[in-house]
Each structure stands twice: as C-alpha cells, then as structure tokens.
Structure 1
Amino acid sequence: MTETATPAAAAPVPAPSPFGLFDLHVLRVERVTPVMIRVVFGGPDLARMATAGRDQRIKLFLPSPGQPAPRLPDASDSGWYATWQSYDPATRGIMRTYTIRTLDAAAGELTVDFAAHGDEGPASRWALRAAPGDRAGVFAPVTAENQAFEFRPPAGTDWILLAADPSALPAVANILAQLPPSVPVRAWIEVPSTDDRQELGAGPDTDITWLTATGSTPEALRTAALPEGTPYAWVAGESTTVKAIRRHLVQERGFDRTRVQFSGYWRRGTSEDGLQETGEAA
C-alpha cells in the first residue's frame, strides 16, 4: 500500500496594506490666510493614493535642515515605522501628522494646509519657506476605506457639532463639504484673527461661529443654544481644550460619550517628536 503525502498547508497570504509611501515634490504654495499656508504636492505615483475625505490623516515626512529630501524607508516594508525610527534622527527627516485638504489623484495633486505659527515648529518653518521643487514624503492611504479617519457619525444622528482650531480647520472644511446639505450643523472654530476666517461649504442649516483671541470654544458652548435631537460631536485641536469641550458636552450637556469623537491634534508646550517618544502621537 502506497501512502500519499498530505501536502503542507499553504502559508496565508497577508492582506495588502491600505497605506503606502509616496515620494513627493512641491508644485505650488499659496498663503490662504495669515495663519494658513496651502502646499500642493505632486509625485510620480499619486494616481494610486486614496482618501476617505472628512478628517483623513496622513504622515508627512519633511527634510531635516540642510537635507535636500527626507530619508524614506522602502515602500514595500511592512515595518516601515520601526525602520524609519532606526535611522539617524539627523538625516531621517521630520515626521508630522496632517489632514488631506484635497486629493486629485487623476491630476496627480495632493493639497495640504499648514497652520503656520512662525519658526516655533519644524513643519511651520518648512511651510513658510516651501518653494516649487522642494522634496517631501507621505505615508497615505491607497484605499478610501481605511483606519486613519475618525468622523463616523452613527445611525440615528440628527445633527452635528464641530469644534476646532486652525490645526483642525482643513478637516472641518472636508467634513462640511461631504455632509448632506439637509444635516443641521453647529460649528465653533478658533482662529487668531478675523482675517483667518475661510469660506466653507455649508448647508442651509449650518451655523459657524468664528472665535478669535477674545473667546474660547468651552466658554462659547456653555451659553450656546443647541438643536433638539440626537447629536454627534467631532472635536479636534489643542489637547487641553479638546478635553474641556468633551467634558462639558458629556457632563453638562448630557451627550452620550460614544457620540463624542475627540482628537488632540497637538499639545501646548509639547512637540510631536515628544509625543512619538511616549507613543502618544496619532
């Protein structure tokens, strides 16, 4: 009797990553408002980049001072982050988290808005001096359905509350652009001055309150009249302010905590490098 060998089970094929690394260069730079700089990037394979819109996050790699381009890991390396961390910090470049403002994959253009705050941070410094031809890198989605966006109103949402500062203004613009016009929206946006307000797409029942240095969102919300019905809140910006808004909505307004999405985009007195070292960066 001849025994037939049982073939070994084939190793499972890993699912393709919904993200990829892109080597980019600056096409155009525009000063949108005193606080906002718009940079349009191009690249050889931007046609495969995707976005969910809304508050779609990407990782932007900028060169260190004196470097022509950031050092990027191999795009096929699934452990790219550990590889990037292993590089010499003096030459690997600077990594920061940003929101896609717009993506025109067919035209090969990615637009990112930078909230400028002088030379205080490396990304702001870079954006203030950016010029056509400057090199950068991006870790971004290649599928529209991915884990790098948070604005996901659950079923049964009657109206939307948005709260943001300049760092989250690009996300607010995208959210408003994608919401059905019939959805009521109440938004509070903190900006340094009245010149930093932007024209945002808005439905007939959208009310945007722009707050300058004379006021803050937690203070404004305490006296605000809110719509009836089941809300969904999206809050992003400086970490301490975001937490104060969430606390007010849950403890004083009675919002269901599962219907309050809050994200600290930055923390006063702390850089993203510091947050990366402690594992707290988004």
Structure 2
Amino acid sequence: MSQVLIPENINYKKILWLKEVGGPDRWAYMDVNERDIFDLHWPKTSPKYPAKAAIGDIILLKQHRKLTHLVIPYSNQVFERFIMPRWPMAREVICLRKLDIDSAPWLNQVFPFSLQGGAHGIGYSLQSFLNSHPGIITLDQLQKNIWRAFFSSLEPFPVKLQDESPEDEYTVEEFPEGKPIQSLHLRRERNAKLVKLKKDTVLKQKGILKCEVCQFSFLDKYGDIGQNFIEAHHIVPLSELKPESMNTIDDLALVCSNCHRMLHKIRPWITVDQLKERLIT
C-alpha cells in the first residue's frame, strides 16, 4: 500500500458523498493508514455510482452505524477485481483520515436524521439526504459536523506528512516493517521514514529522482510541483515479510505512478527488471 501527497485545498466543503462499507460480521478498511492508496469496493449492481465522485471530492465511509473514514478518489479509473466476488468493482482512493472503532462517532452524533438503506457504491450524495429531510440542517452545517468529528477543528487538511522530521533525524538504516494487521486485504504496515531515507539517499547520489523502470522524472515533466516526488515500491511484497522483519532502503524501488500500478497488476508481482523488459520503445 503506497502513500501519496494529498492535493491542496482539501477542506470540509469537499465532503459530498457517503458510502456504506463493511458487513454484518466485519469491519472494512480498518488496516488502512492516513495517506494510503487502497481499493474501495462496491457491488457490480451499481456500476455507475463510483464515477460520480470527482478527483478532490471527499467520500465519507459509514459502517455499523459509525463513521470511520474520509477518502478521496486517486484516479478516475474503475476496475473489476474478482478477489471479492460480491464486491468486484473497485476504484483507487486515498485515505485522508481513519478513526479507530472505539473513537469513531456514531451516525446519530453527526446526522440529525435517520439514514435509511445502505449507500452501496458512491451514488449517495449528502445533498440527496438533505433533500429528503428539508429544513433540518444545511449542507454547510452537516459538512462542518463531519469534519469536526474527524479533525476536531475546521482547519484545512494538512498537506505535509505529520511524521516528517528534520533531515538529520533520518540516520538509521533499518526499520521494522511487516507487523501483522488483521484485515480483509491482508495489508501490512509501512514506515514513511524508510521511504524518505531512500529518496534522500538517491537525491544525494544522483541529484534527481527518476523512475527505476522508465526513467520518468516528475521534476522534468511538471517543474517545481514535481520536486522530490516519486512513489516507493517494496521489492518484497509486505505480505511475505515475517513479523517485525527489518527492511533497508535496498528493499525499495523508486518508481513513477504508472510503473507502480503495472508492478502490482500481475500476481505474483513482476520485478522491476521484468517490467523494464516489457517496455515498448
């Protein structure tokens, strides 16, 4: 599960959609961490709904009458993945905020009216619920209620990674990774400091971050906005790591977004060198 930079100007007014997740006997996506990219699933019976949320819109996730996540679409692509037969449709989203089960607010602590039915897919806008309950609360008030429940204030979402520290703190060379997390997708923890150390090391050696597969540079393509931006790919899938195993920067490959998706497209994963051989030049 890779992490990304969050777009600027993410604030409470962007909360426009609500989606029901989970099931009677399970909680969904509780292994996801802030800024992680993950697949948001829904039934094939509602194929049009996921495309309605635009890039930058915020989707509120509800399960077991609790509000647990705020997510935004990562791309406009919709996939059909058969790892979850009942919910094969998927769209990649970024986790803005996740609350633990105990701290997540109950639905009736935020919504001043009952929500009937499940919002499968991303087809239920907050405005549609307000239209069914006119005069009770405005969209702006409801959005503020939701934002405060997740962030305790109305400040915009912080673009900077919360665990970033001055560069001189990144001197260790090994990091514990792969601590088991019980989840549907069997995902593992990642250590953002390890990724930053990898980037810093490559920058000192080469002066620029380029994809190890196709040599794409976000800086060359996008200018200042792409400065020091690239994604990190774990060469050994985190699902194969032993608990508390130690990872070094040599276990990471720096790749562009497209090559990262291609490395994860085939199971078992292909290697960086194998993907290089597939490049059409």
* TM-score bracket for this pair, using the shorter chain length: under 0.3
| Bigger CA radius of gyration | 1
Larger strand proportion of the pair? 1
Larger helix proportion of the pair? 2
How does the TM-score come out when normalised to structure 1? 0.26
How does the TM-score come out when normalised to structure 2? 0.26
